[in-house]
Amino acid sequence: MDNLLPELQEIFRDVMDDPTLVLTPESNASNVRDWDSLTHINLMTAVANHYKIKFKLSELQDLKNVGDLMTLLTKKIEAKQAGTK
C-alpha cells in the first residue's frame, strides 16, 4: 500500500478543509492544527467510507498517530481482499 499516505492526506485535507496539510506517519492530534475529538470522528468515518471498511472502537482507541492508522488500514484492506473480516 505505497499510496496509503497520499490517499490519507487527501482525505484529511478534505475533512479538515486544509489543502496545505502535510501528513507524516508521526502526525497526530497534538501536532496537527484543528485535529480535535469531533474532527477525529469525522476523519475515521471518512477513512472507513473511502476504503469501505469498518473499525471497531477498540481498534480506534489504540491509534496514536497516522502511522498506526496506516498499519491498521493495511491489515483491514488485506483482510478484506482475502475475504475475511
* CATH (domain of 71): 1.10.1200.10
Domain count, the chain: 1
Q: Which residues contact 21 (CB under 8 A, 6 or more apart)?
A: 9, 12, 13, 32
Minimal CA–CA distance to 52: which of 72, 75, 80, 14? 80
Sign of CA dihedral 25, 15, 30, 32: positive
- Helix and strand numbers (H, E) in the chain are 4, 0
Global pTM reads 0.91
Domain limits for position 65: 4-82
Q: Per residue of the chain (85 residues), give pLDDT as tens.
A: 568 999 999 999 999 999 999 999 999 999 999 999 999 999 999 999 999 999 999 999 999 999 999 999 999 999 988 986 5
Minimal CA–CA distance to 6: which of 56, 70, 84? 70
